[in-house]
């Protein structure tokens, strides 16, 4: 599309390594403005920006990886803050700010169902999709209450209940379009009818915290389940005569599997097996971040819903010793994927950007560096640390060590003071 004059907020990231869904482009140019990606290209790439002059505010990102913003569909907290129905919405925004500093431009607040259903209406009004100082909270991922009592992990027994269609209808009414993903156990009585209801309402139904057999998991997929929550964790494992939910997840091509790539939740060999079975498009890196993920001090004990959590033997644990979320942040997951899954960076990034966008059906506007998509950008340094995060074309985070090069854009902490 020809552009006759430079819009006022154009930013050009110059000299970076552009991370596309299928390759890297070195010495690349990425031009953003009006909240969107305007143009991108590089030497020999045939990109449209290479044959015209650089415009707007030019930022040198030579040698850095310019990635599509990461999208985390499974986040409970971060930086000692939590998505907690007992806490004010400002606490939720704090979580979003912490994850923006880890390259996450969009996320789903992952929570159990609140006791007071009116909180769902309030969430829609106050939080979902609003412009924030951190990652965009696209909506909710409800982990519960329809979970298996024998695979509940750290979720309290008292928070679980059986799926009932009238209960689901009330939930859908209250949460509306802010309910994006629900994790449930498909073998529970009433689950199949609820899966159909939720799917018809546009909710992505995931199976997780489930004791489903292989056959039950296959039936669930037929009924509309399209995701598996933290593959291998809190589900029936792979047995050669009863492949379980894990086996079904790897066998079913239409089901995308979340994986917690921290080296604690899943052995790297199991992750590689899953990758071979699912292919790059079938795996989705998530953090399952607990409030202790990205926290400056991990010796603390902090609340996580109804119980406190602390770090024991390098993992975040509930008082009964069970794993309670992770300490992982998504840029670490991407870096880990290059080692544990032995994939090139562009594939690891794709599992943290395009795949979750596809899973939510928002890949028309998010998930990859493409002209016309939202200017959600994560810039990584050579060690895969986050140097800068842009959301909708706004710089929301910059690493203090790199702040000098981003100075023309005003460091974000100044912006947040003005707000
Ligand atoms: Zn979780």
Tell me: the pLDDT tens digits for 180-196? 999 999 999 999 999 99
Confidence of residue 314 (pLDDT cuts 50, 70, 90): confident
The Cα 80–Cα 355 span in angstroms is: 28
Please tell me the distance between residue 236's alpha carbon and the centre of ligand 1 in angstroms.
Answer: 17
In this prediction, residue 418 carries a pLDDT of 34
Homologous superfamily in CATH for domain 70-360: Metal-dependent hydrolases (3.20.20.140)
Distance 89 CA to ligand 1 centre (A): 20
- pLDDT category of residue 223 using cuts at 50, 70 and 90: very high
Per CATH, is 11-68+367-418 categorized as 2.30.40.10?
A: yes
* CA distances in angstroms from 233 to 24, 129, 147, 245, listed in the order given: 33, 29, 13, 10
211 catalytic residue (yes or no): no
Gap from CA of 413 to ligand 1 centroid (Å): 30
Whether residue 120 is predicted with pLDDT greater than 70 in this model: the reply is yes
- Going from the C-alpha of 146 to that of each of 57, 196, 387, the distances in angstroms are 50, 15, 40
**Ligand 1: centre distance to CA 109 (Å):** 10
Mean pLDDT value of segment 4-24: 89
For residue 294, pLDDT over 60 is answered with yes
Quote the crossing angle between the two packed helices 214-223 and 244-251, to the nearest 10°.
Answer: 50
The residues whose Cβ lies within 5 A of ligand 1, an ion, are: 143, 288
Q: CA-to-CA distance for 118 and 321, rounded, in angstroms?
A: 33
- Mean pLDDT value across residues 40-50: 68
The pair of three-digit structure tokens given for residue 215, joined into one six-digit string: 């056959």
- 230 annotated binding-site participant: yes
Residue (of 128, 203, 207, 113) closest to 167 by Cα position: 113
Comparing 39-53, 113-127, 150-164, the range with the smallest average pLDDT is: 39-53
Any binding-site annotation on 184? Answer: no
- Sign of the CA dihedral running 402, 406, 407, 409: negative
Q: How far apart are the CA of 344 and the centre of ligand 1, in A? A: 27
CB 327 within 8 A of CB 300: no
Ligand 1 centroid – CA 56 distance (Å): 42
Query: Could you tell me whether strands 136-143 and 104-111 are parallel, antiparallel, or unpaired per DSSP bridges?
Result: parallel
pLDDT, averaged across the chain: 93
Catalytic residue among 288, 363, 374, 376: 288
- Split at pLDDT 50, 70, 90, the class of 419 is very low
CB atoms < 10 A from the CB of 201, how many? Answer: 16
What is the band of 413 on the pLDDT scale with cuts at 50, 70, 90? low
393 C-alpha to ligand 1 centroid (Å): 30
> Is 233 annotated as ligand-binding?
yes
Q: Is 99 annotated as a binding residue?
A: no
* Alpha-carbon span 372 to 352, nearest angstrom: 20
Could you read off the pLDDT of 347-382 as tens digits, one per residue?
999 999 999 999 999 999 999 999 999 999 999 999
- Separation of alpha carbons 102 and 397, rounded Å: 9
Cβ–Cβ < 8 Å for 399, 90: no
Ligand-binding annotation for 234, yes or no, is yes
pLDDT at site 119: 97
For residue 299, the 8-state DSSP code is T
Distance CA 230, CA 261 (A): 10
The torsion of the CA quartet 197, 203, 209, 211, rounded to 10 degrees, works out to: 40
Inter-residue contact 230 to 256 (CB < 8 Å): no
324 is in an annotated binding site: yes
Would you say 143 is a known binding-site residue?
yes
The model's confidence at residue 4, banded by pLDDT at 50, 70 and 90, is low
- 13 C-alpha to ligand 1 centroid (Å): 35
Q: Where are the beta strands (DSSP E) in 230-368?
A: 256-260, 283-286, 302-304, 307-312, 315-317
The answer to the question of whether 154 is labelled as a binding residue is: yes
Give the phi and the psi of residue 158 in degrees, each rounded to 5.
-65, -15
Position 51 scores a pLDDT of 60
Distance between CA atoms of residues 385 and 103, nearest Å: 9
- The answer to whether 242 is annotated as binding is no
Closest CA to 102 of 140, 134, 55, 150: 134
Distances (CA, A) of 124 to 62, 72, 118, 352: 40, 19, 10, 25
Average pLDDT estimate for 67-86: 96
For residue 143, how far is its CA from the centre of ligand 1 (angstroms)? Answer: 7
Domain range list for the chain: 11-68+367-418, 70-360
Listed range (6-15, 208-217, 247-256) with the worst mean pLDDT: 6-15
């Amino acid at each position: 599309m020809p552009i006759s004059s430079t819009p006022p907020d154009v930013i050009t990231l110059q000299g970076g390594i552009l991370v596309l869904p299928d390759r890297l482009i070195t010495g690349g140019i990425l031009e953003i403005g009006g909240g969107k990606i305007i143009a991108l290209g590089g030497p020999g790439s045939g990109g449209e920006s290479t044959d015209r002059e650089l415009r707007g505010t030019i930022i040198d990102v030579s040698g850095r990886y310019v990635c599509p913003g990461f999208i985390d569909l499974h986040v409970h907290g971060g930086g000692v803050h939590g998505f907690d129905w007992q806490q004010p919405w400002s606490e939720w925004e704090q979580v979003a700010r912490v994850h923006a500093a880890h390259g996450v431009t969009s996320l789903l607040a992952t929570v159990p169902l609140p006791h007071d259903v009116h909180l769902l209406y309030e969430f829609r009004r106050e939080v979902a999709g609003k412009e924030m100082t951190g990652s965009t909270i696209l909506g909710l991922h409800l982990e519960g209450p329809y979970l298996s009592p024998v695979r509940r992990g750290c979720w309290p027994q008292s928070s679980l209940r059986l799926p009932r269609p009238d209960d689901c209808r009330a939930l859908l009414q209250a949460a509306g379009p802010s309910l994006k993903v629900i994790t449930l156990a498909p073998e529970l009585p009433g689950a199949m009818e609820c899966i159909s209801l939720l799917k018809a309402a546009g909710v992505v139904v995931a199976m997780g915290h489930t004791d489903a057999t292989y056959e039950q998991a296959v039936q669930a997929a037929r009924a509309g389940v399209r995701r598996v929550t933290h593959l291998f964790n809190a589900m029936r494992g792979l047995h050669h005569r009863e492949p379980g939910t894990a086996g079904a997840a790897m066998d079913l091509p239409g089901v995308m599997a979340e994986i917690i790539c921290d080296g604690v939740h899943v052995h790297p060999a199991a992750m590689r097996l899953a990758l071979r079975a699912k292919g790059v498009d079938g795996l989705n890196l998530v953090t399952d971040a607990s409030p202790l993920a990205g926290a400056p001090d991990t010796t603390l004990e902090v609340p996580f819903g109804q119980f406190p959590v602390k770090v024991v033997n390098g993992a975040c644990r509930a008082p009964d010793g069970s794993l309670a979320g992770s300490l992982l942040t998504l840029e670490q997951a991407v870096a880990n994927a290059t080692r544990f899954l032995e994939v090139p960076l562009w594939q690891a990034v794709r599992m943290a950007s395009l795949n979750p966008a596809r899973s939510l059906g928002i890949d028309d506007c998010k998930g990859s560096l493409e002209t016309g998509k939202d200017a959600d950008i994560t810039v990584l340094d050579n060690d895969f640390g986050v140097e800068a995060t842009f959301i909708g074309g706004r710089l929301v985070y910059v690493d203090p060590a790199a702040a000098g090069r981003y100075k023309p854009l005003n460091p974000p902490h100044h912006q947040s003071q003005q707000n």
